[in-house]
Chains A and B, each alone.
Chain A
Amino acid sequence: DIQMTQSPSSLSASVGDRVIITCRASQGINIWLAWFQQKPGKAPKSLIYATSNLESGVPSKFSGSGFDREFTLTINNLQPEDIATYYCQHYAEYPLAFGGGTKVEIK
């Protein structure tokens, strides 16, 4: 099975900062990686699919990149409403798997 490892597990950044979260797959997954945002007490929300494609309605401050085993989620101009835990997920083969999450806080 493919394992997903996110880093860091948590981070603290200032308003206006650029934040980068990394997700690594234990095997190659081509571009089949998604990112999700989960705010406290809420259901997850889909942000990005196929590595770099924004879901409808997702602001362009979010972007994704990568290929095969290493991927990044970038959040530009961090704002208080971006406070959340972010998860990656591969969907290259079964079973699907999520990363452990990255909790983003404001400094």
Chain B
Amino acid sequence: EVQLVESGGGLVQPGGSLRLSCAASGFTFSDHYMDWVRQAPGKGLEWIGRSRNRIHNFDTQYAASMRDRFTVSRDNSINSFYLQMDNLKADDTAVYYCARAYYGSGTWPRIDSWGQGTLVTVSS
């Protein structure tokens, strides 16, 4: 069973930094893409960025608005996925979800599994 467990959320001051973690289990981590998605209070889902799989050298892709301050990375030795967030602003307040994008033959990778989310609050 695929399991994704986020951690690292909390209260941070504007201008501060935070690193979120996602512990993955139940699948061969390096075979699949991994995404971060966020949801501001009362708002919709917003895609942040992706780390592709071993076949694609774990390269990264971002939403344009996230690229300057957010960095995704992964440690395949411990099946963990990360989101480094710098220079945080009030409108970064959101629940941050880790998601697996399943990579299989014959179809483009799509999100098929989600973590429970971790809340980040940016406030002084």
B62, A36: Cβ atoms closer than 8 Å: no
Asked whether B58 is an interface residue with its Cβ less than 8 Å from the other chain, the reply is no
B115, A43: Cβ atoms closer than 8 Å: yes
* Given A91-B109, A91-B110, A94-B61, A101 and B44 contact (CB-CB distance below 8 Å): yes
Tell me the number of A-to-B contacts counted with CB atoms below 8 Å.
63
| 4 A-B pairs closest in CB distance | A49-B110, A98-B45, A94-B61, A96-B47
Which residues does B use to contact A, with CB under 8 Å? 35, 37, 44-47, 50, 61-64, 97, 101, 107-117
- Between A and B, 18 residue pairs with Cβ closer than 8 Å are A1-B64, A32-B110, A34-B110, A38-B45, A43-B115, A44-B114, A49-B110, A50-B107, A89-B47, A91-B108, A91-B109, A91-B110, A92-B108, A94-B50, A98-B37, A98-B44, A98-B46, A100-B44
